[in-house]
A and B are shown apart, each in its own frame.
Chain A
Amino acid sequence: MSSPSTESIPIHQQLLAAIGERILELPPGFTVDSDLYDAGLDSMATLQLMLLIEERFGVNLPEAQVTCANFRTITQLAHLVEKALARRG
């Protein structure tokens, strides 16, 4: 569940910060459109990222969306989170 203090921060910024803090040491110059796999995201880290998203935003990503391609950039992920939040209403 997003807390009031983070609600005003755009989702992609929240993701960028959380990934850098919990999952990967992101290289300088890494942006929301950079390739996470090139930065070292492996399969176990991808799963961690999925769990992080579900925990932080209180959403469940539908199984069909859990694909390697969808986890390539933060922009793509932020988009999926937005859709999941909208579905939740």
Chain B
Amino acid sequence: MSDSPRVLVAGGGTAGLAAAVAAARSGATVTLVERHGLLGGMGSVALVHTLCGLYELADDTPPRWANPGLPAEFATRLLARGDALPPVRLGRVHVLPHRPAGLAQAAADWLAETPRVTVRLLANLRAADSATGRVEISTPTGRETLAADAWIDATGDAALARLAGAPTEHAPPDRLQRPAYIVTLSGVDPAALAPDARLRLAAQIARAVSAGHLPPGAVGAALRAFEPGGDTFVTIDLAGPPDYDPTDPATLAALLAEGRQLAEALTAYLRRESPGFASAVISAHARQLGVRESHRVIGRARLEADDLLRGTTFPDAVARATWPMELRENHRGPRLRFPESNRPADIPAGCLQARDLPRLFAAGRCVSCSHEAQASIRVMGTCLATGEAAGRLAAASSR
């Protein structure tokens, strides 16, 4: 097997999954390293429950895949298993609502069916040496060294790049997209979440906050039903401290505690005050804070807001971005910047190649781009696409 290049994928979120499948299908022998006990990243562990960026923007046509390769393949699998609902149209975009636990299992099955992929769960990256291609991982029982010919950083935080000493960037703490804490509720009357009822519910929450009946942080809460009779998702955007650092363990722990408290307070309030919630209970808490933006790899190219607004094309395009820039610089809801036309923007290969380390590639929310551009390319449909592209590039680089 010595002629099969060894590719290490760091991170088992949507980007890492697609990277592993693509690299293996390109002939590489792949090891995927994931610190949690399940795959899916934000889309399962943090309970994010909608796949965005899978489809082209459209005014009235039926949904068309933005990236017909692995993003479409994975979404089709989710639909076939009943782990996603058919695409829902919201203005110019289509989204695919999914079940987080179902996404994790679909991911595990996808990788298990792919020859030459080994998944290492509960494996935390500890060190990386770019001269030898070796990375050190820690597992619950000890440490191990893994050797590879090429690396893909799909950690969302550019954790592998930072361990290897490759340059990374991040937005200032006060502009970083705000994090969120997500829980699911069971026992909610579906009628309470019909469009008009849902808007009134949001208004009720906002007024309860102004009146002091709910803590101020509850103003960041949004509720969404997965399907009638199914779970209801409560996403609470958090303001975060002035020096918000999504890689600092103490900050993450404090925000998790705040999110948990807000979710409990809000649920208790809704049980008391909102008829459709009389028997609502929290059925699951996120196991991880929802982090939208963190560190990014500095690549040979950098995607900018203008590229997305204009739908720029590049000769070395490897993926396409279609989601509007969804800025969440405060916890009171998004500010959206739509592209000028419905044309997708190209993501060039250079955004996935680390500037200084020829065998290091980036995928998902830590690819090389500006803060504004990241507000588009972070969505999971696009993460699957940059993952697929990084997987191919990494396999080819070490041949």
In the assembled complex, the Cα of A28 lies from the Cα of B340 at a distance in Å of 8
From known contacts A24-B335, A47-B333, infer whether A38 and B92 are also in contact, taking CB-CB under 8 Å: yes
A45 within 8 A of B: yes
A22 contacts chain B at the CB level, 8 A cutoff: yes
Q: Is B142 an interface residue (CB 8 A)?
A: no
Bound state CA distance, A41 and B334, in angstroms?
9
Within 8 A of B (CB), among A1-50: 22-25, 27-28, 37-48, 50
Main secondary structure of the interface of B (DSSP, over half): mixed
Which stretch in B162-170, B195-203, B345-353 binds the other chain? Answer: B195-203
Chain A residue at smallest Cβ distance from B93: A40
Answer whether residue B90 sits at the interface, using C-beta atoms and an 8 A cutoff: yes
Query: Across the interface, do A63 and B334 meet the contact criterion of CB distance under 8 Å?
Result: no
Structural contact, A43 and B202, CB atoms closer than 8 A = yes
Contacts of A28 in B (CB 8 A): 340
Per the 8 Å Cβ criterion, residues 320-344 of B in contact with A are 324, 332-338, 340
Size bracket of the B interface: 20 to 34
Using CB atoms, name the residue of chain A closest to B204: A63
Partner of A45, one of B198, B200, B334: B334
> Is B324 in contact with A63, judged by CB distance below 8 angstroms?
no
Q: In angstroms, how far is the closest chain B Cβ from the Cβ of A60?
A: 9
Does B222 sit at the interface, judged by CB under 8 A? yes
Residue of A nearest to B207 (CB): A60
| Docked-complex contact B338 and A27, CB < 8 angstroms | yes
What's the minimum C-beta distance from B49 to chain A, rounded to whole angstroms? 15
Q: Say yes or no: B200 contacts A66, CB within 8 Å.
A: yes
Are A44 and B196 in touch, CB under 8 angstroms?
no
- Which residues of A sit under 8 angstroms from B92, Cβ to Cβ? 38, 40
Q: A25-B337, A38-B91, A38-B92 are in contact. Are A48 and B332 (CB under 8 A)?
A: yes
Measured CB to CB, the closest approach of chain B to A70, in angstroms, equals 9
Contact of A68 among B196, B203, B222, B333 (CB under 8 A): B196
Residue among A40, A50, A51, A71 making CB contact with B336, cutoff 8 Å: A40
Residues in B neighbouring A23, C-beta threshold 8 A: 333, 335
In the assembled complex, 25 residue pairs joining A and B whose CB atoms fall closer than 8 Å, in A order, are: A22-B335, A23-B333, A23-B335, A25-B337, A28-B340, A37-B91, A38-B91, A39-B91, A40-B91, A40-B93, A40-B324, A40-B336, A43-B195, A43-B198, A43-B199, A43-B222, A44-B222, A45-B336, A46-B202, A50-B203, A63-B200, A63-B203, A66-B203, A68-B199, A71-B199
* B residues apposed to A, CB below 8 Å: 59, 90-93, 195-196, 198-200, 202-203, 206, 222, 224, 324, 332-338, 340
Q: Which residues of A contact B (CB under 8 A)?
A: 22-25, 27-28, 37-48, 50-51, 63, 66-68, 71
